[in-house]
Amino acid sequence: MPAPNEITQSQLNRLIGTPDCPVIIDVRIDADFAEDPRMIPTALRWDFNDSDAAAAMIGDRRAVVSCHKGLKLSQGFAAILRNLGVACEFLQGGHVAWADANLPLIQPAPTNSLWVTRHRPKIDRIACPWLIRRFIDPTARFLFVSPSQVLNVAEKFNATAFDVPDCDWTHSGDACTFDAFLKGFDLSIPALDHMARIIRAADTDTLSTAPEAAGLLALSLGLSRMYRDDLEQLEQGLLLYDALYRWARDATKETHIWDETA
């Protein structure tokens, strides 16, 4: 049984990828981080001496602190945050136990948290921001601009371009941009792999390769017609991919038929 104010690896892993995921704070010292620079998905690196700034950043959200082995740094930092009014737990066993359990670890995200792509998104340009927010960087911001200006905006504003030619995060062969993010951040998660097949089929007009792709295409095009503001469309589109992820993770074997008694 976990100790008070402690969360287990399996409990935290179930929250990652959902809107209920807590703010995850990685307070490993530099030497431990150098041994394994991978991060728990969405985790933010933080100086354990900077608790006031962490509390201000977290606000009224829930937080989980992870250190190397779940001992003095994470337990102490979590206790200080609780003193500052933050609902906070520490991760049982820390980073080492998480890695030993073969749970997801990703490469660190770009530090600027600013991404730019073409305006009027349909599929990839909603799916990729969802993936970034839910598994890579929950603080990420997204700019939608004219296709001809994406790379120029990326250069001038120190943003990371995606889903346009001549950038790192884009289509390659039969793979779409969502695939590029999964590969680039080493996100090998069965539910995301299942989603990728559907997103790829919907985004590349190969609907026959995934039976759910036609439905995703229809919903994506309808969503695009509903909103003139790309950021408003993105916020609503996140719900669509939240639902698709939970289906891919928990409900692919479930069917439904009308039952007047149910």
Q: How far is Cα 121 from Cα 235, in angstroms, rounded to an integer? A: 12
CA 38 to chain centre: 15
Strand arrangement, sheet containing 141-145: 141-145, 114-118, 160-161
DSSP per residue, 4-28: TTEE-HHHHHHHTTSTTPPEEEE--
Three-state secondary structure call for residue 246: helix
- Which residue, of 100, 127, 153, is where some domain finishes? 100
Q: What are residue 208's phi and psi, to 5 degrees?
A: -70, -15
Same domain, 126 and 226: yes
Along the 262 residues of the chain, how does pLDDT read in single tens digits? 567 799 999 999 999 999 999 999 999 999 999 999 999 999 999 999 999 999 999 999 999 999 999 999 999 999 999 999 999 999 999 999 999 999 999 998 887 799 999 999 999 999 999 999 999 999 999 999 999 999 999 999 999 999 999 999 999 999 999 999 999 999 999 999 999 999 999 999 999 999 999 999 999 999 999 999 999 999 999 999 999 999 999 999 999 988 888 6
Residue 148 located in a structural domain? yes
Same domain, 140 and 209: yes
Indicate yes or no: pTM above 0.85. yes
DSSP 148: G
Neighbouring CB atoms inside 10 A of 194's CB total 18
Give a yes or no: residue 47 inside a domain. yes
Q: Closest Cα partner for 67 from 27, 37, 18, 35?
A: 27
Enclosing domain of residue 131 = 114-250
CA atoms of 191 and 193, how far apart (whole Å): 5
Strands 114-118 and 141-145: parallel
Residue 255 lies inside a defined structural domain of this protein: no
The answer to whether 228 and 144 are in contact (CB under 8 A) is no
